[in-house]
Structure 1
Amino acid sequence: MRLLFLGSGPFGIPALRRLQSLREDLMVATVPDARHGRSRSLRPSPIKSEALELGLDVHECDRLRGRAGRELLEQTGAQLIITADIRLILGSRFLEGPERGCFNLHGSLLPRWRGAAPIVRAILAGDEQLGVTLYRMVPALDAGPVVGFSSWNPPAAVTSEEAELHLSRLAADLLEQHLETLEMGAATLTEQSEDAVTIAPKVEKSEGWARWDGDSGFLDRQVRALKPWPRTRTRVARQAASSCPDEVILDQVSQIEGMPAADAGTVLEVTSDRIIVACGHGAVA
């Protein structure tokens, strides 16, 4: 079985490692090196870096539609494709090419949170249960029939960074559980309920401004959901002679009960180890 793994971001690394330990004929494809930071230096994707460390050959592609997709299939002869965090749109003909199909590992319990940022959106919404889904890919985004799920009840203070790491490991376990049936073309597929769909759009940097006008619970979720990017930040009113910065990053907040009502963003109390600030409802420190 000629197996091709497609990935870009770190979410797919545990699955790649698991496949490499289970199959000798594994091939890898990822996006080309991209420029980052002020220096604009070229950096490989996390999947490329990991694949090279594992001694795997890597194909690079910046699109998988039309000729580019056909060429990758011809070069690899892939019979089964597994994807995770690929960050590319796969054309319909590409999806139809492999004999055993294309299957994706997605960081939510589909059909909840289809889209680019499922973990962030789940934490923002206060979901008590997170998870991963293995499903067969179709042209519509994250809409294909499901092979299997793995769910997790995270701790109350979980951040997106922590959740992604844990869910990526669950994804590797889920893939191993179903790999043989995928290779045989014998997986049981269950259609998603369109009535239960929610969308997880890409996170924008502008979402990082602290929402003091909301309740304290939302601000707590915002700080956790937007860590490590774009982080939650707030402007600080200061006197001209003060050395206090104009903006600060909120690394962690805790909800505080029993504080008097005040305008959102008002500093209620300052001690040696915390600052208590009013929200639209409640307060945080």
Structure 2
Amino acid sequence: MRILFLGSGPFGIPALRKLHSLRTDLQVATVPDAHHGRKRTLRPSPIKAEAQSLGLEVFECQRLRGKAGREILEQSAAQLIITADIRLILGSRFLEGPQHGCFNLHGSLLPRWRGAAPVVRALLAGDEQLGVTLYRMVAALDAGPMVGSRSWTAPTEVTAEEAEAHLALLAAELLEQHLEALERGDAPQTQQPEEGITLAPKVEKSEGWARWDGPASFVDRQVRALKPWPRTRSTVLRHCAGGQRDELILDQVRQIDGMPGAIPGTVLEVSNHQIVVACGQGAIAIERLQRIGKNSMTVQQLQLGMPFQAGDRFEGEDSR
């Protein structure tokens, strides 16, 4: 049976590798090469780079609706389509084209977190259980009948990057478990419940401003959920800088208890190991920071060129 794998981001790489190890009649479709960085260097998608290293035939497409979608189906002659992080909208006719259907590996326990950023939204919300779901695609967003799922209790300090890497491995295992049934056309499919539906919209850069007026637990979740993009940022106002505001990225933080209350964003304590900042509820100990365009540094390293003291202020976007 000919299988077409659709993907773009790194989430789909373990599943692609698994398919390549299990089946020989495999092709890949992905988005065209894109410009990256300040030099606008043209780079392939992670899935294209991986497919080429495996020696697989690769199709490129900017859309999978209408004529473009029909052309991919005709060129590939796919009987079964597996997708993971494709970042394109699949038209209804495209979904109906393959004999055995189109199935997606999604980074959440559906129906929770339907949409483009399920892992980030789950971490921001403080979900204890993360997971992946294999489901048959329909025209509605991530709403098709489920074939199977895998859950995972993530460590409390996990970042979005780390969580996605682990969930990608679970997705590959889930696909292997159900692959033969998908090929036979008799994979069990259970309709998603109407209760418990939440949406996971695309993350915007503006969401990266630290919410000092909220609880310390949320700032901690921000730092982990928004890593590697867009990162959690804050402006800082230091007494010794004469009123100049700088922008910093919070790279590593932890919640601490037992600190006195203060205006959110106020620096309460400074040592070589941490800068303690008041939040709307509780406080955050910042252990690593990053100046824009620079590498991550410990508090001790940062203070060699940017000293802090109690009473300095970390502020949000509105204070710029």
Q: Could you tell me the TM-score, scaled by structure 2's length?
A: 0.87
Structure-2 residue corresponding to 1:152: 152
Identity in percent: 75
User: Matched residue of 1:214: which SS?
Assistant: coil
Structure-2 residue corresponding to 1:19: 19
Q: What is the CA distance between 1:38 and its match in structure 2? A: 1.4
Structure-1 residue corresponding to 2:278: 278
**Aligned-partner Cα distance in 2 for 1:256–1:282:** 7
**Aligned-partner Cα distance in 1 for 2:17–2:226:** 27
Structure-1 residue corresponding to 2:49: 49
Structure-2 residue corresponding to 1:59: 59
**Aligned-partner Cα distance in 1 for 2:70–2:118:** 30
**Aligned-partner Cα distance in 1 for 2:240–2:159:** 35
Q: What is the CA distance between 1:194 and its match in structure 2? A: 2.0
User: Matched residue of 1:58: which SS?
Assistant: strand
Q: Which runs of 5+ in 1 are unaligned?
A: none
- Which runs of structure 2 are paired with 1:244-283 in the superposition (5 Å)? 246-283=246-283
**Aligned-partner Cα distance in 2 for 1:143–1:272:** 50
User: Matched residue of 2:253: which SS?
Assistant: coil
CA-atom RMSD, angstroms? Answer: 1.3
**Aligned-partner Cα distance in 1 for 2:245–2:48:** 39
The letter for the 2-side match of 1:85 is D
- Which runs of structure 2 are paired with 1:159-238 in the superposition (5 Å)? 159-238=159-238
Q: What is the CA distance between 1:39 and its match in structure 2? A: 1.2
1:59–1:216 CA distance, 2 compared to 1 (3 A): same
**Aligned-partner Cα distance in 2 for 1:73–1:281:** 54
The letter for the 2-side match of 1:273 is H
**Aligned-partner Cα distance in 2 for 1:35–1:194:** 40
Contact kept, 8 Å, 2:237 with 2:245, in 1: the verdict is no
**Aligned-partner Cα distance in 1 for 2:68–2:194:** 32
User: Matched residue of 1:247: which SS?
Assistant: strand
Contact kept, 8 Å, 2:14 with 2:168, in 1: the verdict is yes
CA shift digits 1:76-111 (9 cap, x unpaired): 110000000000000000000000000000000000
**Aligned-partner Cα distance in 2 for 1:131–1:202:** 18
Structure-1 residue corresponding to 2:29: 29
Q: What is the CA distance between 1:272 and its match in structure 2? A: 1.7
Q: What is the CA distance between 1:256 and its match in structure 2? A: 1.1
Q: What is the CA distance between 1:240 and its match in structure 2? A: 7.0
The letter for the 1-side match of 2:227 is K
Q: Could you tell me the TM-score, scaled by structure 1's length?
A: 0.98
Structure-2 residue corresponding to 1:116: 116
Structure-2 residue corresponding to 1:126: 126
CA shift digits 1:165-212 (9 cap, x unpaired): 000000000000000000000001000012210000100001000000
Structure-2 residue corresponding to 1:73: 73
The letter for the 1-side match of 2:89 is I
User: Matched residue of 2:20: which SS?
Assistant: helix
User: Matched residue of 1:151: which SS?
Assistant: strand
**Aligned-partner Cα distance in 2 for 1:123–1:80:** 32
CA shift digits 1:6-59 (9 cap, x unpaired): 000000000000000000010100000011111112110000000000011100
Q: What is the CA distance between 1:239 and its match in structure 2? A: 4.6
**Aligned-partner Cα distance in 2 for 1:272–1:90:** 52
Q: What is the CA distance between 1:238 and its match in structure 2? A: 2.7
The letter for the 1-side match of 2:39 is S
> Runs of 4+ in structure 1 displaced over 2 angstroms?
238-242
Structure-1 residue corresponding to 2:96: 96
